[in-house]
Amino acid sequence: MVAREIIMGREKQWTYSQVKSKDGTAIRYGHWRGKTSSNHTLVFLNGRSEWLEKYEDIAKLIQVKPDCDILSWDHRGQGGSGGLRSHVDSYDEFLSDGRTVLEHALGSDTTYTIMAHSMGGLIALYGTLKKVFRPQQLILSSPLLMLPDQPIKRSIYIPASKVACRLTMARKSPGVGGQHDIYPGNSLTRSFSGFQRVQESPYPIPSPTFGWVNATDEAIRFVHDPKNLQGLLCPVLILGGSAEAVVDHRGFSHWVHEASKASDEPISFFNIPGARHELLNEIGRTITTARRNILYWMKQEGFKNEVFQD
């Protein structure tokens, strides 16, 4: 049985529901209905530690077309979904959840674009390369394509996480990667209201577990593998900020370089000057620049724009 609740966003009514994934984990998802009937949906995958309501105004922020629906969900282990906080054994669990929501919420004849942020970007790529997701195009904001090399070196914490998982400590946390709790020096956003939104989260979560680190490393290796990239069958746009300090920004250009060699699909990377990690929770001019870059990319590549208003 699917539980439902109605929550009014500032722009439009969202329907928030719950559905059970294959392993019984409750996954909370939200559906924003366009003003007219639609055969195309914007699927938005948020990042680690985020939640549905954080982006309830996304239709206004990026000016989604009136006939386009929006579908999003809380990943397991965060937001209003079930599962151990900040933990996943494999990104295939994220894909199983996504498949369940897509099958439940969208009709078989509905096409969709995936827009994703940070960890959501890695999930989107992983799912697309595994043919679980079949988007018309991917638009990735600050995607997690390389784990950070600070405050602890990757060469230390990734092997340590693998050892911990073998020692049945996968669900334990190394206790690093805490909250960004000082506004002037935070790595997430230059927007004070955006920073407050993060700090006032109704769903705070702890640091990632060893299992999450290990699963993320395996997913990153998968999406960078040239053999897997040969199966990329949709255009990809990556947006990143020049002041990125949450994920390793070198992952953006490295992935674009490798993917462009392996796939014939249009693949681009736009760097936004001064922007920090949360491009859609940033100051107004950063959000505007991100949107303009998306529209420019679509026009340059000759895509049919089924999502955004010009």
In a structure prediction context, what are the per-residue pLDDT tens digits for the chain, which is 310 residues long? 344 444 444 445 899 999 999 999 999 999 998 877 677 899 999 999 999 999 999 999 999 998 899 999 999 999 999 999 999 999 999 999 999 999 999 977 789 999 999 999 999 999 999 999 999 999 999 999 999 998 889 999 999 999 999 999 999 987 765 445 677 789 999 999 999 999 999 999 999 999 999 999 999 999 999 999 999 999 999 999 999 999 999 999 999 999 999 999 999 999 999 999 999 999 999 999 999 999 999 988 888 778 998 8
**CB within 8 A of 260, min separation 6: which ones?**
267
pLDDT of the residue at 13: 80
Domain range summary for the chain, segments of one domain joined by +: 3-301
Listing DSSP states for 2-61 in one string gives: -EEEEEE-SSSEEEEEEEE-TTS-EEEEEEE--SS--SEEEEEE--TT--GGGGTTHHHH
Q: Which CATH code for domain 3-301? A: 3.40.50.1820
User: How many angstroms separate the CA atoms of 123 and 143, rounded?
Assistant: 9
User: How many angstroms separate the CA atoms of 251 and 221, rounded?
Assistant: 11
Residue carrying structure tokens 């059970």: 20
pLDDT of the residue at 12: 52
How far are the Cα atoms of 37, 38, 114, 130, 207 from residue 41, in angstroms, in the given order?
11, 7, 8, 21, 32
Residue carrying structure tokens 């955006």: 194
Q: Is residue 32 within 8 Å of residue 70, measured between CB atoms?
A: yes
pLDDT of the residue at 217: 98
Can you list the alpha helix ranges (DSSP code H) found in the chain? Answer: 58-61, 91-105, 119-129, 154-166, 192-199, 210-224, 226-229, 250-262, 284-301
pLDDT of the residue at 176: 60
First to last CA, the chain: 40
Q: What pTM, to 2 d.p., does this model score?
A: 0.94
pLDDT of the residue at 174: 79
Look at residues 251, 248, 238 and name the one whose alpha carbon lies nearest to residue 279. Answer: 238
Token couple for 182:
């000082």
